[in-house]
Amino acid sequence: MNEDPRCCGTGTCIIDPEGRCWCGQQWDGTKMAMPMLNLGPAPEPLSSHSPAVSADHKL
């Protein structure tokens, strides 16, 4: 088996075709690194006009 040049040197790398290793690192074209966190937009705050549950309401 040929050694993958993307391996971090531990000899335990299992890298899929997209360049992701089992340990969570991603090939960035130059080196293996942890992928960037993509948080996306913040959720909208809850509206103060949403209906409230009555204190008398019993489940």
pTM across the whole model: 0.48
C-alpha span between 57 and 38 (Å, rounded): 40
pLDDT tens by residue, 18-59: 889 888 888 888 888 888 777 778 778 776 665 555 566 565
C-alpha span between 35 and 17 (Å, rounded): 16
Start-to-end CA distance of the chain, whole Å, equals 63
The answer to whether the beta carbons of residues 32 and 21 sit under 8 Å apart is yes
